[in-house]
Amino acid sequence: MKLLGAVGLLLLVAWGSGCGPSGTRTGQGAIIQPGERPDPSGVEADTWMAAEKFEQELKTSGRVMEDPALNRYVHGILCNLVPDYCSDIRVYIVQNPDFNATMAPNGALSLWTGMLLRLDNEAELAVVLGHETTHYLHRHTLQWWTDARAKLDALVFVQLAAVMGGAAAGMGRVGSAAGQVIGYLVQGRILAFSRDNERDADNTGLDMVARAGYDPREAAEIWKALITERDAGDKSRPSIFFATHPTEEDRIAYLESRAQRLVDGREGLTVGRAPYQEAIESWRGVWLRDELQRRDFKVTQVLLRRLIEQGSNLDELYFFRGELYRLRGEDGDIDEAIASYRKALDTGNSLAETHRSLGLALARRGDRAGARHSYENYLRLRPDAGDRKMIEFYISELK
């Protein structure tokens, strides 16, 4: 494989793996200017070319959420943060249940839906966007590439690119590509992540957030929630986000400290919980279903507990809590599932699917009459259900 090919792959990998390790603003010139494009003869142009190819593939991958209202909302917050770069940065909402956000050197910013599901408010979203935007403004990917080239010999590049193959070329493969890259990062075969550059993105991002009128104190809340999930989760399945970002708890401390300095003497900063929740409301169920497909039940348990504690959309949340226990199927889970479905039904606003799932759970526990009743309720509420004939068969078997 030509070295140039390997270069391209690695640049894509850097994007796919998250914010990526990066250099400081020094050594790579000034902050990128609005509308700026790289010198076609320079190294930076290579990084942009690779990113543009990846961006094109992302657009046709079928994984970018096209909801105009949601995209407008998210991009609007970005524009509040960096009005001069509003048209330079393109935000893609990628349907992927993992918690991650990535920034390409050419200004293509990807937000994964697992992140949007977990964020609580507009200020938290602004924090993420500010962090990623800093990677773009400060040309961190270019620095990453320059560092990588200096540290790795050509043989390693070729071997690495051969292993990665085409895996980094399409957005559909980002998950698996990122997993492989993380493996290399963890093994120390590429680079260690730079604490300085993550801190740069944190600090500059917080400044942007505060300047735009959002409450920067929300930054620490993101990390607290994530660390709680991480500690509950399966250690053999490290989060992509944690694999590409420093996880030290002291990060919370410095985020809190800097945020406090930024808000001292200021009033009326926006947290924006209601507009954020409204913006994602119609997608929350879809994203929770995706979340359950990960089968990382302990993490999802923590997430659902947190969302339920917030007290809204309880019908939906108790339904998914029931789904979690029913799908996991460990000792005692089926009773937990039934209890959760019943709580969802008690809200008086439950989904038809709650009745079906309750029927499945009751059938598994041997409650034939209860299962039949639940299935009948499901068909009554959803007469055109795609599985109607199957449910009718269950009912006939339970009589």
Partner 1 sequence: MKLRNGAGLFLSVVILCGCAAYKLVGPERHEITGVYFVEPQIAWSARQYGEKMEVWTVDGLQLEAVFFLKGLKDGEPLLYVKERGGSKHPPEFKSYMNANEVLELFVASLTYAGRGQVQVKDLRPAPFGKAPGYRFEYSYLTVDGLEMEGFALGAVLNAKLFLIMYEGSSQYYFEKYRADVEKLIASISLL
> Which residues of the shown chain bind partner 1 in the complex (CB under 8 A)?
57, 60-63, 95, 165-167, 170, 172-173, 175-176, 179-180, 182-183, 186-187, 234, 236-238, 290, 292-295, 327, 329, 356, 360, 363-364, 386-387, 389-390, 393-394
Min dist CB 390 to partner 1, Å, is 5
Measured CA to CA, the distance from residue 381 to residue 307 in angstroms comes to: 27
Min dist CB 60 to partner 1, Å, is 5
Closest approach, Cβ 286 to partner 1, in A, equals: 11
> To the nearest whole angstrom, how small is the minimum distance from the Cβ of residue 94 to partner 1?
10
Q: Are 173 and 58 in contact (CB under 8 A)?
A: no
- Return the half-sphere exposure (C-beta side, CA atoms, 13 A cut-off) of residue 278: 6
* For partner 1, the closer CB: 46 or 323: 323
What DSSP designation does 64 have?
B
Q: How far is the CB of 238 from partner 1 (least distance, A)?
A: 7
Q: Which is nearer to partner 1, 16 or 38 (CB)?
A: 16
Return the number of the residue (35 or 62) whose C-beta is nearest partner 1.
62
Nearer to partner 1, 267 or 389 (CB): 389
- CA-based max dimension of the chain: 76
- Identify the CA nearest to 288 among candidates 263, 320, 326, 248: 320
Q: Which is nearer to partner 1, 83 or 165 (CB)?
A: 165
How do beta strands 101-103 and 108-112 pair?
Answer: antiparallel
- Can you name the residues that pair with 111 across neighbouring β-strands? 93, 101
Question: Minimum distance between the CB of residue 183 and partner 1, rounded to whole angstroms?
Answer: 4
Q: Which of 135/284 has CB closer to partner 1?
A: 284
Distance CA 105, CA 213 (A): 27
Residue 304: both structure tokens together: 């659902």
CA distance 375 to 111: 38
